[in-house]
Structure 1
Amino acid sequence: NINRSRKRMDVSALDMLQFHWWDYANPGYLDALKHITDLKEEGKIKTVALTNFDTDRLQIILENGIPIVSNQVQHSIVDMRPQRRMAELCQLTGVKLITYGTVMGGLLSEKFLDTNVSIPFAGPPLNTPSLQKYKRMVDAWGGWSLFQALLQTLKKVSLKHGVSISTVAVRYILNQTSVAGSMVGVRLGLSEHIKDTNAIFSLELDEEDMNSITEASNKGRNLMDIIGDCGDEYRA
């Protein structure tokens, strides 16, 4: 309820409302978004955004006059699906991408460099749902050995700039077409990533850095061919 949210937050208008729809077979998402647009025109919402919509549905939504400002999608050096189709549409229409999963739950870090998680107790435990989810992405992309080669490339770049692997991983995605921001998860009291996150804003990857990371990323499979477009992993 929009009015309840406005009251709880003590604001006249919500800065953004992000909308997700599970079943594309039900076209009711257009009716819902038109209602949300009406609320925007009434001044109760400032901007309308999406979460995990694919390129085809994003285009349909835009063609129906819904003023979408962003789409929140999974995007990392391993999962480059947003750049395959969606980024071009976003560039043409001004829609921005807000990314999550950019450090893959922590897999893209020094903690998992030179490890073998397939051997019980030999490496860091995959003890969160995020780590388990993104390990499956690694498996689909090319497997742990290829992922180690990617981490080695990122480590080389990180040492060059005096930052962490995670910082390089986020900066690389922020440099991609139509990406406006990236969300980095925290676990309060356990992992807050303040230093690494602050370093992202001052890090400048040069052409050599970008090319070496792209080359390492491209050695894996195209996840568009395996999983489908953005958000399809939740609709299989």
Structure 2
Amino acid sequence: MAAVPTVKLSGGLKICRVLNGLWQLSGAHGTVDEAQAVEDMQAYVDAGLTTFDLADHYGPAEEVFGAFSRQLKSRSSPGSAPLQGLTKWVPGRMGGMDRKVVERAIRRSMTRMQVESLDCVQFHWWDYRDKRYLEALGHLADLQQDGLIRELSLTNFDTQRLEEITSRGIRISSNQVQYSLIDQRPAVRMEEFCLAHDIKLLTYGTLAGGLLSERYLGKAEPKSRLELYTASLSKYKKMIDTWGDWRLFQDLLATLETVAKGHDCSVASVATRFILDRPAVGGVIVGCRLGIAGAEQHISDSLLSCSPELRLTAEDSAAIQAVTQRSGDLMALIGDCGDEYRN
């Protein structure tokens, strides 16, 4: 098995270019057996996919990661590939942001994840009018200096706030944003800034919750809750509706299928590879299938998407972009990255 490609963040942490997302454990995707989830994570690590993306508000995700990490250590032999856990801190909208509050949140994640320091903290903030985010980030930077955090990162911050934060001397390793063939807003402003400041983009929604797959090619538009049965499907179907319509989406899927057949791979692999090839993108977060059938194919698609064997040609990219350029302007319709959470 070829090694999964990695990328080094500014603080030195190496992560896989395909990250295993644990949003599934948030409770918004149905009931999950936690013990089974711990067991199922092993298949991803065995495949070389050792980087997990989680959050303090993804249900029991931090505890599940901690239990798996402890189990993995008991099984591992010397020289085994290390595990990386990138968590998020999403503070509530009320309350202070003094050092005690910030440190308490970080130590809570450390306890849950059963680690002595956090590989990466990805900070989210709800309202830019509330400038306490700068206070919180200052304390996080101090905790980083104290050794409790290795990489200090952001989640869903826009380019203007990235500029503001870095201008204060706070080193940001990455920003997690939505980036897909549907949502290409990071290419408008953010990529250029990130390239200039050694900030990697970690992208989610790249497969639109599974909508960017053969499963939906040639199918009638899903509209009911029964059809859009997970938080991801509902969320990204709304994004497709803003981007264009179901007919245009079908044109995109048909084009992706043609490209995929030319490379003997899946639509998902092509959609992921397209984003991995974008400037400033360090890695793509693909949701895990824990306790769900089809995990083997899911892992295989992820491995192929980041394999050097899959190289999209200029003709492939041109064919895909010929479709996406017919869509609406999401920067004009929504705003910069993350604005959908604040409008």
Query: TM-score, with normalisation over the residues of structure 2?
Result: 0.66
**Are 1:62 and 1:68, in contact at CA under 8 Å, matched by a contact in 2?**
yes
> Deviation string for 1:128-153 (max 9, x for gaps)?
12111111111111100001001111
Partner of 1:151: 253
Q: Please report how far the alpha carbon of residue 64 of structure 1 lies from its aligned counterpart in structure 2 after TM superposition.
A: 0.7
Q: CA distance change for structure 1 residues 24 and 197 in 2, over 3 Å: closer, same or farther? A: same
Structure 1 segment 216-235 matched on structure 2, within 5 A: 216-235=323-342
Between 124-133 and 218-227, the greater mean CA deviation after superposition: 124-133
Partner of 1:196: 301
Other structure's SS at 1:68 match: coil
Aligned pair 1:215/2:322, yes or no? yes
Other structure's SS at 2:201 match: strand
Aligned pair 1:48/2:152, yes or no? yes
Amino acid at match of 2:201: L
**Are 1:117 and 1:125, in contact at CA under 8 Å, matched by a contact in 2?**
no
Q: Please report how far the alpha carbon of residue 126 of structure 1 lies from its aligned counterpart in structure 2 after TM superposition.
A: 1.9
Q: Distance in 1 between matches of 2:193 and 2:160?
A: 10
Q: Distance in 1 between matches of 2:115 and 2:222?
A: 50
Q: Please report how far the alpha carbon of residue 189 of structure 1 lies from its aligned counterpart in structure 2 after TM superposition.
A: 2.5
Q: Percent same amino acid at aligned positions?
A: 50
Partner of 1:26: 130
Amino acid at match of 1:142: G
Amino acid at match of 1:66: I
Q: CA distance change for structure 1 residues 78 and 8 in 2, over 3 Å: closer, same or farther? A: closer
Amino acid at match of 1:128: T
Q: Please report how far the alpha carbon of residue 4 of structure 1 lies from its aligned counterpart in structure 2 after TM superposition.
A: 3.8
Query: TM-score, with normalisation over the residues of structure 1?
Result: 0.94
> Deviation string for 1:19-77 (max 9, x for gaps)?
00001001111110010000011111111000000110111001011110000000100
Partner of 1:206: 313
Partner of 1:76: 180
Amino acid at match of 2:252: L
Partner of 1:180: 282
Q: Distance in 1 between matches of 2:290 and 2:117?
A: 29
Q: Please report how far the alpha carbon of residue 10 of structure 1 lies from its aligned counterpart in structure 2 after TM superposition.
A: 4.2
Q: Distance in 2 between matches of 1:118 and 1:12?
A: 45
Amino acid at match of 1:110: E
Q: Say what the alpha-carbon RMSD is for the aligned residues.
A: 1.7
Q: CA distance change for structure 1 residues 3 and 129 in 2, over 3 Å: closer, same or farther? A: closer
Moved over 4 A (4+): none
Other structure's SS at 2:228 match: coil
Q: Distance in 2 between matches of 1:119 and 1:16?
A: 37
Amino acid at match of 2:206: T
Q: CA distance change for structure 1 residues 232 and 119 in 2, over 3 Å: closer, same or farther? A: closer
Gaps of 5+ in 1: none
**Are 1:90 and 1:96, in contact at CA under 8 Å, matched by a contact in 2?**
yes
**Are 2:243 and 2:327, in contact at CA under 8 Å, matched by a contact in 1?**
yes
Other structure's SS at 1:139 match: helix
Amino acid at match of 2:254: Q
Other structure's SS at 1:166 match: helix
Number of aligned positions between the proteins = 234
More strand by percentage: 2
Gaps of 5+ in 2: 1-103
Equivalent of residue 16 in structure 1, options 116, 120, 138: 120
